[in-house]
Chains A and B, each alone.
Chain A
Amino acid sequence: MPNRTIKVDYLARVEGEGGLAIKVRDGVVTDAKLKIFEPPRFFEAFLRERSFTEAPDITARICGICPVAYQMSAVHAVENAAGVQVTGPIRTLRRLLYCGEWIESHALHVFMLHAPDFLGFDDAVQMAREHGDVVRTGLAIKKAGNAIVTLIGGREIHPINVRVGGFYKAPRKKDLTALAETLKPARDSVVKALDWARALPFPGFEVNYEYVALHHENEYPFNEGRIISSKGLDIDAVEYPDHFVEYQEPHSTALHSRIDGRGAYLVGPMARFNLNREKLTPMAAEAAIRASLTAPCNNPFQSILVRLVEILFSFEEALRLIDAYEEPDKPAVDINMGASVGMAATEAPRGLLFHRYEMDESGAIVSAKIVPPTSQNQKSIEDDLKGVAQRHLELTDDALKWRCEQTIRNYDPCISCAAHFLRLDIDRGDSGGAHP
Chain B
Amino acid sequence: MSVKVIGVGNAFRRDDGAGIAAVNLLRERASASFDIAVSSAEPSELMTAWEGADVVILLDAAAAGSAPGKITRTVIGKTPLPPDASGASTHDLGVAAAIALAEALDERPETVIVYTIEGADFGFGEDLSKEVVAALPMLIDQVAQETAKLSVEELRHA
Contact = CB atoms under 8 A, between A and B. Distances in A.
Interface of A: 12, 15-16, 64, 108, 112, 123-126, 128-129, 132, 135-136, 139, 142-143, 146, 156-157, 416, 420
B47 A132 contact: no
Contacts of B110: none
Contacts of B48: 143, 146
B44 A142 contact: yes
B101 A135 contact: yes
Interface in B43-59: 43-45, 47-48
- Which 9 residue pairs are nearest across A and B when measured between Cβ atoms? A128-B104, A125-B100, A129-B104, A416-B90, A139-B44, A125-B101, A132-B105, A128-B105, A125-B104
A211 B91 CA distance: 29
10 contacts: A15-B91, A112-B43, A123-B97, A125-B100, A126-B104, A128-B105, A132-B106, A136-B107, A143-B48, A156-B45
A125 B99 CA distance: 9
Contacts of A123: 97
B47 A139 contact: yes
Given A15-B91, A16-B90, A157-B40, A132 B104 contact: yes
B28 interface: no
Contacts of B44: 108, 112, 139, 142-143, 146
Contacts, number: 40
Nearest to A127: B104
Given A12-B92, A126-B104, A157-B40, 14 more contacts: A15-B90, A15-B91, A123-B97, A124-B43, A125-B97, A125-B100, A128-B105, A129-B104, A135-B105, A139-B44, A143-B44, A146-B45, A156-B45, A420-B90
B84 to A, nearest CB: 16
Contact of B105 (A64, A136, A143): A136
Main secondary structure on B side of the interface with A? helix
Nearest to A139: B44
Contacts of A15: 90-91
Interface in B94-115: 97, 100-101, 104-107
Main secondary structure on A side of the interface with B? helix
Contacts of B43: 112, 124
B106 to A, nearest CB: 7
A35 to B, nearest CB: 18
Interface string B103-132: 011110000000000000000000000000
Contacts of A157: 40
A323 B101 CA distance: 36
B118 to A, nearest CB: 25
Contacts of A64: 90
Contacts of A139: 44, 47
A181 B47 CA distance: 22
Contacts of A125: 97, 100-101, 104
Contacts of B90: 15-16, 64, 416, 420
B101 A124 contact: yes
Interface in B61-115: 90-92, 97, 100-101, 104-107
A418 B24 CA distance: 33
A416 B106 CA distance: 32
A129 B106 CA distance: 9
Contacts of A156: 45
A232 to B, nearest CB: 37
A108 B106 CA distance: 20
B101 A128 contact: yes
Interface in B125-154: none
A136 B101 CA distance: 10
Nearest to A104: B44
A399 B142 CA distance: 49
A113 to B, nearest CB: 10
B50 to A, nearest CB: 13
Q: Name which of A16, A128, A132 has the most chain B CB atoms within 10 A of its CB.
A: A128
Contacts of B92: 12
Nearest to A108: B44
A420 B107 CA distance: 32
Nearest to A141: B44
Contacts of B104: 125-126, 128-129, 132, 135
A135 B44 CA distance: 10
A135 B43 CA distance: 12
Contacts of A126: 104
A8 to B, nearest CB: 15
Contacts of A112: 43-44
Contacts of B106: 132
B1 to A, nearest CB: 25
A203 to B, nearest CB: 26
Contacts of A135: 101, 104-105
A414 B91 CA distance: 11
A156 B91 CA distance: 16
Nearest to B48: A143
Contacts of A146: 44-45, 48
Contacts of A16: 90
